[in-house]
Amino acid sequence: MNTKSSENTFPSVKEMEQAYKKSDASYDGIFYLAVKSTGIFCRPSCSARKPLPKNVEYFPSAREAVFAGYRPCKRCRPLEAHGTPPEWVSKLLKTIEENPTARYNDAFLRSIKIDPARARRYFFKNYNMTFQAYCRGRRLGISFEQIKNGKDLDDVALGYGYQSHSGFRDAFVKTFGTPPGKSKEKDCIVTAWIESPMGPLIAAATSKGICLLEFSDRRMLDAQFTTLRKIFKCPVIPGTNNHIEQLKKELKDYFSGRLKHFIVPLIFPGSEFQQKVWNELLNIPHGKTISYEDMAIKVGVPKGQRAVGHANGLNRIAIVIPCHRVVNKNGNLGGYGGGLWRKQKLLQLEKGIHNL
């Protein structure tokens, strides 16, 4: 087993062994199994012949299995995620959205036949917070928007699952750093999961626009959120807003081949040079590519290909700010934080090769 995995976010070996032997799809995305004798790694739900336990190694992500030298299975295709959470997660998220003010404790999870430990692991892995923290953040995020929109503080405190004003105030201050009565001018970063044909995306937005869009398995994701907190000086909570809802619609049209130009508002602060590079990326036409060398010339540093590549890699808004359209001078794809297979598919999509 990968020893870097946290005990609190990784199932036991016995549990994972039972899951893959049963081809249990509810564990897809929670762990991957790699077969030492074949050098291949799979999803738990893979229908291939089950390997002997002594030949199996476990990883919390496809990325880590790849870095360990394993090849993706051609049958279950663990790198080509469909972006859909397991059915039990989808139902749970739907329940929370239908009634975000409710208290969802371990007893509730057990009543709908969900193991609290599994929920805790899944939410920590995919949302970087426990299930309870997700629910709490969802309640507070909605209350924050209600207060900004002028709703009476008493109604918000008692209407969003809090038994007292003091309890609501303490939770609010802990999350937003300011009392609820003084929060109307404050902002927050709301985050949402977006399904895509190339795997799950994590989107984040302030009241001014989209500030992050990354594939959920990108290695830099944690660092990107740390940067956002420093830049905007506000908390990150689960939720949505008009910008995220607009982004979801535009991405759906983009992946279907109907959209060639995003119009959702963006906000992407950075250094003067980073801003030049990112704005130049927005000028690359749909279906076209540009070399790092040509990009360097356009931003005024003819010998600055490496600097351009670094700024490209720090782009926080994938696809919409199309860093995937920058390639090597010889036409090779070069690097891409979301994985070269995704870069290739994005370029094929934009050239009209709809094989997603």
The position carrying tokens 């059915």 is 87
**Torsion, CA 169, CA 175, CA 181, CA 182, rounded to 10:** 150
Question: What DSSP line would sit under 122-166, residue for residue?
Answer: HHHHHHSS-HHHHHHHHHHHHHHHHHHTT--HHHHHHHTT-SSHH
Q: What is the DSSP string of 196-247?
A: -TTS-EEEEE-SSSEEEEEETT-TTHHHHHHHHHHHH-S-EEE---HHHHHH
Cβ atoms of residues 321 and 315 within 8 Å: yes
Which amino acid, one-letter code, is at 176?
F
Rounded Cα gap, residues 197 and 208, in angstroms: 27
Q: Ramachandran region of residue 54, left (φ > 0), alpha (ψ -120 to 50) or beta?
A: alpha
Beta strands of the chain (E only): which ranges? 32-35, 40-42, 56-59, 71-72, 189-194, 201-205, 210-215, 236-238, 290-291, 326-327
Residue 18: both structure tokens together: 């039972």
Local structure of residue 321 (DSSP, 8 states): S
Cβ neighbors of 138 (< 8 A, separation 6 or more) are 96, 100, 237, 238, 239
Contact present, 239 and 190 (Cβ < 8 Å) = yes
| 323 tagged catalytic | yes
Q: How far is CA 58 from CA 5, 22, 128, 221, 330, in A?
A: 10, 16, 20, 22, 38
Residues classed as catalytic: 323
